[in-house]
Amino acid sequence: MPASLSYTHGAVKSKSVRSVRQAIVILFAALIPAVLIAAFHPRRPALSEERGLPGEERLETVLGWGKTVLWLDARSAQEYDAEHLPGAILLNLEDWDTLFPSFLEQWEPDEKVVVYCSSTACQLSHEVAQRLKQSGISQVFVLKGGWEAWKSKQ
């Protein structure tokens, strides 16, 4: 290989290495403020906050909706009779055919319907919510944590 070609190859290689180093320095210089903003931004979501299933809402969110909420209890009639959210209506799958007409009489189309059952592990509220959506009611939500979430806030 001629000496002049070897020198040119070495100079190009040296410039490439220098360019890569500069890119890494710029990347780290940009990364530092990004990490600080992500860690200390006032509207940053909590890292420990659990994500809910689609259609689930936290109690604090639902309470913020005010009086535009119609609560539905998807638990058994015995559990409902023992204790339920103030103003809640019983609507479970077990007695759907007899309870659904009563629900329709009390429901207003501009209301948000929030269904709850016993706990986080309870799927009855999701099943009732799905059935309501299939019946043409669009603003249907499930209370994340169910009855236990309500009781823990009282």
pLDDT bracket for residue 51 (50, 70, 90) = low
pTM of the model: 0.66
pLDDT above 60 for 47 = no
* Predicted local distance difference test score (pLDDT) of residue 102: 93
- Structurally, what CATH architecture does the domain formed by 56-153 represent? 3-Layer(aba) Sandwich (3.40)
Q: 140: closest CA among 153, 151, 150, 125?
A: 125
Taking CA 81 as the corner, what is the angle to CA 77 and CA 85, rounded to the nearest 5 degrees? 105
